[in-house]
Amino acid sequence: MANIKEIEIFGKHAPVLRIYDKLFPLYIVKGEKNFLIDSGVTARAELFHERIEKALKETGPSGNQRQRIDTLLLTHTHWDHTGAAYYLQQIYGFNVMASRRGVELLQKQKVVGFIDRLNRDYKTMLQEVSDVRFDRLDKLEAVSGGDTIRVDAENYFEVIETPGHTKCAVSYLLRPDNVLFMGDSAGLLEKDGAIKPIFLSSYSEYEDSLRKLMSLEVEAMAFPHNRFLAGKDKVKKYLRDSFARTQEVKEEILKILKDEKDTAKIAETLYRQEFPITSIMGPKEAMMINLEAMVKAVAHEVRNDRGSFYSTL
């Protein structure tokens, strides 16, 4: 077997492979069809391909399992979750499943170009010179909350709509092992244990999605950055803490909004306060877009609740 730092195997029924990466761990669920959940960034695409091949080979065939990726499940369409998808699809020819909103976005050339540009910016940050790009994906299939996606006769994903981080966000709960692939819908767990809420499209929907996840029986959370959290009690504690931290950040934004109406300036303040040291540093443009979106999400909903309180925004 490979070094545990390179490949870890979870799951009592369907093998869940966690492929090590310092920032963007990959997850493969093996069965009659093999599933990759999110694809990471273009800067890692060639390395990810090597690691996927190694993981499939070293975990070996079982029953009808094929040593390839049949389907890519996307939790949402952000640049760091989709970047390597085009490169890997050219190799494996896999189907791509995403929410209906996600499929709509991935069919828009403007969105495709934006994903590619942020990935190129990230490669520049890393001084990485490969010519791997992101481009329009084929074989797109929309999924909705309540859908099931078969892995094999015994195992399946339940699709759960979890908007709030983005409008297109969905989570996948692998049953019966109850491993949750939620993208960024429950926030970012830093390696030092800090929780960073990321409610970009709607604060209230983000909070509702957290409540929805808190109501589930989850044995493990497969974070797309940094961590893998195993154990029902640990998962419940994390979700409670994430919910509380989300409310704290909302209150911080509301406090700043009383004196400052420029959302870009507020985003800069949040950048200094919330992300002085972070293990997921992408292009600052992407980070600032995200933080300003969080401010606008709170301001918009407060304005709707309180009439003209923030009418100048």
246 has a pLDDT exceeding 90: yes
Q: Considering the entire predicted model, what is its pTM?
A: 0.89
259 has a pLDDT exceeding 90: no
pLDDT single digits (tens) 67-85: 899 999 999 999 999 999 9
Dihedral over alpha carbons 142, 147, 150, 154 (to 10 degrees): 170
Mean pLDDT taken over the chain:
88
Burial state string for 53-65 with b = 16 or more CB within 10 A and e = fewer than 16: eebbeebeeeeeb
Among 25-34, 123-132, 235-244, 300-309, the least confident range: 300-309
Residue 311 pLDDT class (50, 70, 90 cuts): very low
Residue 2 pLDDT class (50, 70, 90 cuts): very low
Environment class of residue 250 by beta-carbon count within 10 Å: exposed (0-12), middle (13-18) or buried (19+)?
A: buried
- Residues whose CB falls within 8 Å of the CB of residue 215, separated by 6 or more in sequence, listed in order: none
Residues constituting the chain: 313
DSSP string, 110-171: HHHHHHHHHHHHHHHHHT--------PPSSEEEE-TT-EEESSSS-EEEEEE-TTS-TT-EE
Q: Which of 2-6, 59-63, 158-162, 264-268 has the highest mean pLDDT?
A: 158-162
The domains found in the chain, sorted by start residue, are 7-183+217-230 (3.60.15.10), 250-306 (no CATH)
The closest alpha carbon to 149, from 102, 97, 103, 105, belongs to 97
